[in-house]
Amino acid sequence: MSAPLIVIGNGMAAAKFCEELANQGLGRYSVAVIGAEPHLAYNRVLLSSLLAGEVTAGDIELRNRDWWQARGVTLIYGRPALSIDTERNRVNLADGSSLGFSKLVLATGSHPIRLPIPGMELPGVMTFRERADVDALLAAAKPGTRAIVIGGGLLGLEAATGVAAAGARTTVIHLMDRLMERQLDPRAGALLKQAVEARGIEVLLGASTAAIEGQESAEGRRVAGLRLSDGRLLPADLVIVACGVRPNADLARAAGLDCNRGVMVDDGLATSHADIHAIGECAEHRGQVYGLVEPAYDHARVLARCLAGRAAAYEGSITATNLKVSGVHVFSAGDFTGGAGTQDIVLSDPGIGLYRRLILRQDGQGTRLIGAVLFGDTADGLFYLDLIRSGRDIGAQRADLAFGPTFMTDFDTAEAA
């Protein structure tokens, strides 16, 4: 008889894990997935495209009902798991039912961060994480609506572009001195600001939010503006908070599992309880939590192998970021901070909005690419990412490196992958 395996969370990591487990160990477990959202798992990354009206809700579904059924997965969605009984290996659901497990996988993702300032709870203050958020944002963002997005990172810019496309007069407030500072260097950040402003979106850098202000309306008290720390009041009908995420370790913490920022896992994605694992954004591995999908997929692959009885270990992920704003091409991967022991190759043509910076480290073992920032033309992004991941010596190709694989003679690009 197959052993009961429960996955809590029906997001991207969970769907990938079920797929990998079905490929590697079908029949070994009887799998049930518990999801709080009332939908089949969908591609969360494409919520930005859904908000921008570029795709439909149907387009972003990861797998249809038949796919799940064919793999024998029981889907329980629209019902959150409430607690884990670690003594009896049971999960308690919000409707009072409970399920036993031999293995439990936590894939509960992240919570959007809400700022500890007055007014956060006012109607009209929203976040951008779930399908329901897209519906709420589209209902609120109409032509003439004044929208303010707090946060000039990837999520904030994609939210701003989406509500601006719906007709809202949009301003992005960003605390730092450049947009996407965690992924872009100052020059790429400046080009990005120009491109965002060219879409009619106002960008305020170095601006810190002191409070969200409300006022009485026919529907009760709701958001009316955003007060900056310098005293300025910016009128707003809609405020979108996009200041990052925090791992959702709520269930694990309440169950007494070791947690730091996320649920702490070892190289086999096991938590401090031998039968409980954690993957995706809720997991913390070697002190690192990720807010991107590729590490979540890496976790899912490794855990599926482990649970299928094969040898596998997760050792961390090198991440890359792609901004999904149509017509604005931005790619960043690896370490772009530079500094001692590194060298930069820069190719730049501000006239056509092109910028490419490659960061190299040279040591006794050769020359390796450790980071890449591309603006304008990102077609070679994945090639550079593969080179970073492979750690391959590119000393002999360095003169041609900035021009991409097409111009790199005597270089077997297949080896980079």
Ligand X SMILES: Cc1cc2nc3c(=O)[nH]c(=O)nc-3n(C[C@H](O)[C@H](O)[C@H](O)COP(=O)(O)OP(=O)(O)OC[C@H]3O[C@@H](n4cnc5c(N)ncnc54)[C@H](O)[C@@H]3O)c2cc1C
List CB contacts of 148: < 8 A, sequence separation 6 or more.
Answer: 170, 171, 172, 173, 226, 234, 236, 238, 239, 240
Q: Does 45 bind ligand X (CB under 6 A)?
A: yes
Cβ–Cβ < 8 Å for 17, 300: yes
Residues 337-376 vs ligand X: string with x where CB under 6 A?
A: ----------------------------------------
Of 297, 328, 331, which Cα lies nearest the Cα of 314? 297
As given in the structure block, the two tokens for residue 375 are 């603006």
**Residue 53: count of CB within 10 angstroms of its CB:** 11
In terms of Cβ atoms closer than 10 Å to its own Cβ (0-12, 13-18, 19+), residue 47 is buried
Q: How far apart are CB 95 and ligand X at their closest, in Å?
A: 12
Q: How far apart are CB 408 and ligand X at their closest, in Å?
A: 27
**CA 17 to CA 355: how far, in whole Å?**
37
User: Strand, coil or helix: what is 66?
Assistant: helix
Please identify, using beta-carbon distances, which residue of 45 and 210 lies nearer to ligand X: 45
Q: How far apart are CB 257 and ligand X at their closest, in Å?
A: 14
Q: Does 44 bind ligand X (CB under 6 A)?
A: yes
Q: How far apart are CB 133 and ligand X at their closest, in Å?
A: 8
Q: How far apart are CB 351 and ligand X at their closest, in Å?
A: 28
Residues 149-188 vs ligand X: string with x where CB under 6 A?
A: ------x--x------------------------------
Q: Does 24 bind ligand X (CB under 6 A)?
A: no
207-216 CB contacts, 8 Å cutoff, 24+ apart = 207/173, 207/174, 207/175, 208/175, 209/115, 209/117, 209/150, 209/173, 210/117, 211/117, 211/118, 211/119, 212/117, 212/118, 212/119, 212/120, 212/122, 212/125, 212/239, 213/119, 214/119, 214/122
Cβ–Cβ < 8 Å for 243, 126: no
Among 74, 322, 348, 362, which residue interacts with ligand X (rule: CB under 6 A)?
322
Among 188, 265, 269, 293, which residue interacts with ligand X (rule: CB under 6 A)?
293
Residues 245-264 vs ligand X: string with x where CB under 6 A?
A: ---x--x-------------
Please identify, using beta-carbon distances, which residue of 293 and 374 lies nearer to ligand X: 293
Please identify, using beta-carbon distances, which residue of 332 and 397 lies nearer to ligand X: 332
DSSP letter for 325, please.
B
Residues 324-343 vs ligand X: string with x where CB under 6 A?
A: x-------------------
Cβ–Cβ < 8 Å for 226, 148: yes
The residue type at 291: G
Q: How far apart are CB 416 and ligand X at their closest, in Å?
A: 21
As given in the structure block, the two tokens for residue 73 are 């997965």
Among 19, 213, 281, 298, which residue interacts with ligand X (rule: CB under 6 A)?
281
Q: Does 107 bind ligand X (CB under 6 A)?
A: yes
Among 47, 239, 373, 385, which residue interacts with ligand X (rule: CB under 6 A)?
47
**CA 348 to CA 63: how far, in whole Å?**
42
Residues that bind ligand X (CB under 6 A): 8-14, 34-37, 44-45, 47-48, 80-81, 107-109, 128-129, 155, 158, 248, 251, 280-281, 291-294, 296, 322, 324
